[in-house]
Amino acid sequence: MRARPHILSTRLADSELAQYVQALAAPGGGWYCPAHYARWALLSAPSPAPAAISIDLPAIRAARPRFAAIGRQLNQVAFTLNSGVSAPPSMGRLAGTWPKVAADVLAAVQPTGAVVSVPVPVQFVAPAVARTRQPAFNQHPHGARVRQTVVATRLSEEEYRQVMAAAERAGTDPADYFRSRLLGCNPLRQRRLPKVVALPLAAVLGECGRQASNWRQISRAFGRRGWPVPDVAEIALSALWEIRATITPTLARWRL
């Protein structure tokens, strides 16, 4: 079985091909091997362009159930206080658990993008795509852009899953994502924040609003009864504001 069984390809127009050939020229002389360069472009860290949003979706999916579960505990405490109690409820369990869960959620919604080091060998014979060539016969006579040059590379199972997930997060198909990484531009079909990113972020944002409301109710209930307000309430409201401040710009920048 091949070490890299998956082939990913895309097509380039003549103008895009010229840009690609320019990128293949190695700074110290010679040419980067096209297949290796294409793989490096796919797996290296994305540029800070808006289309290169990288959210750790598995981390969000892992943190959301715990965040929601502790939110239900918080809601129960608020309900108990509002129903009238003669003694303050114990906040020790929430005070010990909530900050850790909130820290995990905040880490999960932070944009990510680890650099993947992929060596790109240099060859001294110009690759076929860099040699002088005439426009193909299927080129539109009036000069319209027709993508006719195929660029391909091989990926391992793990690399293929990584690229598919990145294309899904970018809201585009794998070939268009491949072309955008080769040319250092935004994917052409990127129009809105993809649902696979928007829905988990929106769910976390909604949970933040519910928990902030419950923490404010708890603080007011403690204050009305003359009980000392738990320190964790102020810490929690500050942490919830930080989580919301991290998520809101991402959702606001895109049409959902």
The pLDDT of residue 1 is: 55
Q: Helices in the chain by DSSP H: which ranges?
A: 14-24, 34-43, 57-82, 92-109, 157-170, 174-183, 195-224, 231-252
Residue 34: what residue type?
P
What pairs with residue 55 in β-bridges?
111
* Angstrom distance (rounded) from CA 251 to CA 256: 8
pLDDT one-digit tens code per residue, 32-53: 888 888 888 888 755 433 333 4
**pLDDT at residue 137 is higher than 50:** no
For the ranges 58-67, 121-130, 199-208, 229-238, the lowest mean pLDDT is seen at 121-130
Token output for 143: 């000069």
Who has greater pLDDT, 170 or 183? Answer: 183
Half-sphere exposure at residue 21, Cβ-oriented, CA atoms within 13 angstroms: 17
Residues 6+ apart with CB under 8 A from 116: 43, 44, 45
The pLDDT of residue 187 is: 52
C-beta of residue 93 within 8 angstroms of C-beta of residue 36: no
Portion of the chain with pLDDT greater than 90, in percent: 20
Q: What is the pTM of this model?
A: 0.55
**pLDDT at residue 156 is higher than 90:** no
Q: What are phi and psi of 152, to 5 degrees?
A: -140, 160
The DSSP code sequence of 175-204 is: HHHHHHHHHTS--TT--B--HHHHHHHHHH
Stretch (H or E) spanning 237: helix 231-252
User: Average pLDDT in the 173-192 region?
Assistant: 70
pLDDT-based confidence at residue 253 (cuts at 50, 70, 90) = low
Indicate left, alpha or beta for 84 from its phi (over 0: left) and psi (-120 to 50: alpha).
Answer: left
Half-sphere exposure at residue 140, Cβ-oriented, CA atoms within 13 angstroms: 8
Per DSSP, the three-state class of 156 is coil
Portion of the chain with pLDDT greater than 70, in percent: 75
Residue 71: what residue type?
G
Per DSSP, the three-state class of 213 is helix
Stretch (H or E) spanning 150: strand 149-155
pLDDT one-digit tens code per residue, 87-132: 778 788 888 899 999 999 998 887 654 433 445 666 667 777 776 5
User: Average pLDDT in the 141-155 region?
Assistant: 69
C-beta of residue 171 within 8 angstroms of C-beta of residue 193: yes
**pLDDT at residue 178 is higher than 60:** yes
User: Average pLDDT in the 182-188 region?
Assistant: 66
C-beta of residue 215 within 8 angstroms of C-beta of residue 76: no
The whole-chain average pLDDT of the chain stands at: 77
Domain boundaries, the chain: 6-51+113-183, 52-111+193-252
